[in-house]
Amino acid sequence: MESALYSLHILISGRVQMVGFRYYTVNRARKYGLSGWVKNMYDGKVEIEAEGNRSSLTMFLEDIRVGPSSAEVSQVLDHWSEIDSKNHSGFNVVF
């Protein structure tokens, strides 16, 4: 059983706003049992902070690289770090 917790910070570029990307992200995060948040940024990117085990975060990241069918993801920057405990409960859109 996987016990280590990780935090994954993601910045997504492309046609990722006004296409349902945040709600797609929430759906995928909840599917994998992750906690954290997603928000639109002023520069047109989407920012995500997700916490959970490495395998769930890896599957989540694979889904995020594709995005919803209405999106066009051009770049995904991700930063991983190991954490001692979760900082978030649930997964939500932040405004």
Active-site residue set: 22, 40
Cα–Cα distance measured from residue 41 to residue 31, given in angstroms and rounded to the nearest whole number: 24
